[in-house]
Chains A and B, each alone.
Chain A
């Protein structure tokens, strides 16, 4: 909290003299948000958009604390109920006042959204106590209620009620066709959408009646999607845009060497791994073979040579700062040990397996896969690698067409349990757990601990459970860990506090940006 206050103070100090001149930020992103409706898709782009046009109840600070936004404070009434006291005098862009019923309405809509309903499964309906007090109630004790409140961006319930000119309900969540919410937005955010040509140009204007007076000095944001990496960088270098994201790693050096632009990177939370499929290959059922593969893969070398140090070599899923992170789990490259394990398992002569990886989903994904193929050949595991574009990859991944499959994962909840629920719990079609566990790793203890962690509200106990899971996955070599990708942004030096507005979720808080 102290650190957060300091950051706030620094931002305030920087902001005051600069507020005089209103500035325009020209922003280039690889792809623009798919809709104006924040509930239509759960993706990084849509959340970035939500932070521009809407405000969440609470949001993460750079140090991963909770910062009050539309909720001024909160208190736990009982293991199921968290009471939020809402900010008064907040207005939506439409002019409607923001009250507790908007929170109730938004949560109800989130539970209807195909993409968000999974995250909000533990939640019951919210209850408005009065206009500025709302109880958020879970159906069982839940340790991540506040984390999930970073996803509640209250929408203007009056604005989105009724039917549009085509006679369709305004609150419908429609993914592929026309809907009112896809084309209109009313939030409480610092900016409203002045104009939007999808895939071409967005103009955001500062909202005059914004509640938070402690903001940066950018009053117009012009967002242009530039999909080509080289063009996006050239646009920044030529001074045609002020801020770009993401930045391709091969250009990091160039930006650092160029005067007038700044490169900003920070360790991310997206872990890149390989899953050896125990159902397809009897060999992988033997923990020694899986361990041998982990020992054979020099992931620190991959980080150094292929990622050019723009990643962090991993031995577990949780990055530092997550509750499940265990300090002493370190990368364990040891070729002799790997060979010994293969011998002990009776596979000294090795065997041949298949592998798939995407070639446009993760940073350098194809090169990484090729490196792992050559590393595994040192312990006589011959790998037949097939790479493909992401549009085709996921169906192949789900069908488990190969013996070893690549997957990267970022926890939407910013919490360790999310990795386990999707990647390592026993696959179960009914509960949906283990949806991306193509290794078919299954350990009842992992399931038990992960499920127990969900309803554990004591942070210390919860951390112990999640750390035990990380340790089990490490000891049993449930997966082959590679690294956490680094997040990257680049901007002109005119952006004074660009470093402070970015964070590990990759939701830059442009409302706080100060430009020269």
Chain B
């Protein structure tokens, strides 16, 4: 187990190095931050002087090396726009994104499991067919459009729900402002989390349905039924439990996708999280913040996947054994 752990961590470190390198390459091509920092009539000489001062004229490898050295001490650079350390900016935006992702995950878990199981047990029922049809539509409309559509129907048209932002927030502890504890905050959460779950929900319904169908065909389910166990117990304990392994794996990987899609959802709903911050940073060529975001999200992603792998290794010893030559 220890060797497995070391191997996974080494891989993670390597991945982080590659991510930071890619981030730096992208940074060179998103544009010139100096154009955003200075007014248009500022002379080229003034701009060059500032560029030199910010160290943006140095060779690529020197800039990257300097970044790595500082990153090891937890300093991911300074955001040009926010005029604060980039990590501090990202951390201040993280709660918004995490709350959105959590609400979405909750929605996905609470809806996909019953619907998936139902669709597997009664594949021919009209309700099951309806769910399958809707999920096809959900997965094929871009999130961006879904979000705009939701706003126009529920905010502009019906006037039931607010159109943007996070609403009234409560400070849970310094650095974490939550919208979970006010009715206004919860109202603001509804549309964005529906928009975001429109991507994940169909995937999980289909996955659970397919896995469940397969499990229901196995001999031990037939045996359990023959034994006279209650149908609910057969479904949940004998059936559903055995579909979980692939669902967990996919879930871990999809968490990354979810974070990627927060970029679009947050931008449309002006949800003040890391995703909207990233798009704006690209717009403003706030290059140091862009790199910091990529590294931060990369680290998050790598950590989640490493943990999932380790847990998986614990749950299923075959993974560990296969890895040992």
Q: Which residues of B contact A114 (CB under 8 A)?
A: 38, 42, 46, 50
Q: Is A459 an interface residue (CB 8 A)?
A: no
Question: Which of A177, A225, A422 has the most B CB atoms < 10 Å from its CB?
Answer: A177
Contact bitstring A231-269, B, C-beta under 8 A = 1, else 0: 100110111100000000000000000000000000000
Q: Which residues of A contact B163 (CB under 8 A)?
A: 231, 234-235, 238, 240
Question: When the two chains form their complex, are residues B83 and A234 in contact, meaning their CB atoms are under 8 A apart?
Answer: no
Of A177, A226, A435, which contacts B78 at CB under 8 A?
A: A177
Contacts A177-B78, A392-B31, A395-B35 given: A228-B270 contact, CB under 8 Å?
A: yes
How far is B270's CA from A228's CA once the two chains are assembled, in angstroms? Answer: 8
Contact bitstring B226-259, A, C-beta under 8 A = 1, else 0: 0000000000000000000000000000000000
Please give the distance in Å from A305's CB to the nearest CB on chain B. Answer: 26
Q: Which residues of A contact B118 (CB under 8 A)?
A: none
Segment at the B interface, from A34-42, A55-63, A282-290, A481-489 = A34-42
Please give the distance in Å from B189's CB to the nearest CB on chain A. Answer: 15
How far is B267's CA from A227's CA once the two chains are assembled, in angstroms? Answer: 8
How far is B161's CA from A239's CA once the two chains are assembled, in angstroms? Answer: 11
Contacts A175-B37, A175-B38 given: A391-B50 contact, CB under 8 Å?
A: no
Question: When the two chains form their complex, are residues A176 and B268 in contact, meaning their CB atoms are under 8 A apart?
Answer: no
Question: When the two chains form their complex, are residues B41 and A226 in contact, meaning their CB atoms are under 8 A apart?
Answer: no
Please give the distance in Å from A103's CB to the nearest CB on chain B. Answer: 22
Q: Is B152 an interface residue (CB 8 A)?
A: yes
Please give the distance in Å from A106's CB to the nearest CB on chain B. Answer: 18
Within 8 A of B (CB), among A77-126: 114-115, 118-119
Q: Which residues of B contact A456 (CB under 8 A)?
A: none
Question: When the two chains form their complex, are residues B270 and A226 in contact, meaning their CB atoms are under 8 A apart?
Answer: yes
Q: Which residues of B contact A227 (CB under 8 A)?
A: 267, 270, 276, 279-280, 283
How far is B80's CA from A35's CA once the two chains are assembled, in angstroms? Answer: 11
Q: Is B138 an interface residue (CB 8 A)?
A: no
Please give the distance in Å from A322's CB to the nearest CB on chain B. Answer: 18
Q: Is A178 an interface residue (CB 8 A)?
A: yes
How far is B156's CA from A238's CA once the two chains are assembled, in angstroms? Answer: 4
Q: Is B44 an interface residue (CB 8 A)?
A: yes
Chain A residue with Cβ nearest B39: A42
Contacts A227-B270, A391-B285, A395-B35 given: A435-B43 contact, CB under 8 Å?
A: yes
Question: When the two chains form their complex, are residues B42 and A118 in contact, meaning their CB atoms are under 8 A apart?
Answer: yes
Q: Which residues of A contact B43 (CB under 8 A)?
A: 118, 432, 435
Please give the distance in Å from B42's CB to the nearest CB on chain A. Answer: 6
Q: Which residues of A contact B312 (CB under 8 A)?
A: none
Please give the distance in Å from A367's CB to the nearest CB on chain B. Answer: 20
Question: When the two chains form their complex, are residues A395 and B32 in contact, meaning their CB atoms are under 8 A apart?
Answer: yes
Chain B residue with Cβ nearest A43: B39
Contacts A114-B46, A231-B163, A238-B162 given: A391-B155 contact, CB under 8 Å?
A: no
Q: Is A160 an interface residue (CB 8 A)?
A: no
Question: When the two chains form their complex, are residues A115 and B39 in contact, meaning their CB atoms are under 8 A apart?
Answer: yes
Please give the distance in Å from B105's CB to the nearest CB on chain A. Answer: 24
Within 8 A of A (CB), among B169-193: none
How far is B164's CA from A227's CA once the two chains are assembled, in angstroms? Answer: 11
Question: When the two chains form their complex, are residues A199 and B31 in contact, meaning their CB atoms are under 8 A apart?
Answer: no
How far is B288's CA from A177's CA once the two chains are assembled, in angstroms? Answer: 12
How far is B10's CA from A189's CA once the two chains are assembled, in angstroms? Answer: 58
Contacts A176-B54, A176-B78 given: A41-B151 contact, CB under 8 Å?
A: no
Question: When the two chains form their complex, are residues A228 and B44 in contact, meaning their CB atoms are under 8 A apart?
Answer: no
How far is B46's CA from A118's CA once the two chains are assembled, in angstroms? Answer: 10
Q: Which residues of A contact B82 (CB under 8 A)?
A: 198-199
Q: Is B269 an interface residue (CB 8 A)?
A: yes
Within 8 A of A (CB), among B35-94: 35-44, 46, 50, 54, 78, 80-84
Question: When the two chains form their complex, are residues A240 and B280 in contact, meaning their CB atoms are under 8 A apart?
Answer: no
Within 8 A of B (CB), among A362-393: 389-392
Question: When the two chains form their complex, are residues A234 and B151 in contact, meaning their CB atoms are under 8 A apart?
Answer: yes
Q: Which residues of B contact A392 (CB under 8 A)?
A: 29-32
Question: When the two chains form their complex, are residues B270 and A234 in contact, meaning their CB atoms are under 8 A apart?
Answer: no
Question: When the two chains form their complex, are residues A119 and B41 in contact, meaning their CB atoms are under 8 A apart?
Answer: yes
Question: When the two chains form their complex, are residues A199 and B83 in contact, meaning their CB atoms are under 8 A apart?
Answer: no
Of A41, A225, A435, which contacts B44 at CB under 8 A?
A: A435
Q: Which residues of B contact A42 (CB under 8 A)?
A: 39, 41-42
How far is B163's CA from A42's CA once the two chains are assembled, in angstroms? Answer: 32
Please give the distance in Å from A243's CB to the nearest CB on chain B. Answer: 15
Question: When the two chains form their complex, are residues A412 and B165 in contact, meaning their CB atoms are under 8 A apart?
Answer: no
Question: When the two chains form their complex, are residues B31 and A230 in contact, meaning their CB atoms are under 8 A apart?
Answer: no
Chain B residue with Cβ nearest A394: B35
Contacts A228-B268, A231-B270, A238-B163 given: A391-B31 contact, CB under 8 Å?
A: yes
Q: Which residues of B contact A178 (CB under 8 A)?
A: 83-84
Of A175, A199, A228, A432, which contacts B277 at CB under 8 A?
A: A199
Within 8 A of B (CB), among A389-408: 389-392, 394-395, 398
How far is B164's CA from A231's CA once the two chains are assembled, in angstroms? Answer: 7
Contact bitstring A429-473, B, C-beta under 8 A = 1, else 0: 100100110000000000000000000000000000000000000
How far is B297's CA from A351's CA once the two chains are assembled, in angstroms? Answer: 50
Contact bitstring B1-43, A, C-beta under 8 A = 1, else 0: 0000000000000000000000000000111100111111111
How far is B103's CA from A409's CA once the two chains are assembled, in angstroms? Answer: 46
How far is B41's CA from A118's CA once the two chains are assembled, in angstroms? Answer: 8
Contacts A391-B31, A391-B283 given: A231-B78 contact, CB under 8 Å?
A: no
Question: When the two chains form their complex, are residues A240 and B155 in contact, meaning their CB atoms are under 8 A apart?
Answer: yes
Q: Give A contacts to B, CB under 8 Å.
A: 31, 34-35, 41-43, 114-115, 118-119, 174-179, 182, 197-200, 224-228, 230-231, 234-235, 237-240, 360, 389-392, 394-395, 398, 412, 422, 429, 432, 435-436
Can you report 10 residue pairs joining A to B where beta carbons are below 8 Å apart?
A118-B43, A175-B38, A175-B50, A179-B83, A182-B83, A227-B279, A230-B148, A234-B155, A360-B283, A432-B43
- Beyond the given pairs A115-B42, A118-B41, 13 more chain A to chain B contacts, judged by CB atoms under 8 angstroms and listed by A's residue number, are A31-B280, A42-B41, A114-B50, A176-B54, A179-B83, A199-B81, A227-B276, A227-B280, A228-B270, A234-B163, A237-B156, A391-B284, A436-B40
The 6 closest A-B pairs by CB, nearest first: A391-B31, A42-B39, A391-B285, A238-B155, A115-B39, A238-B163
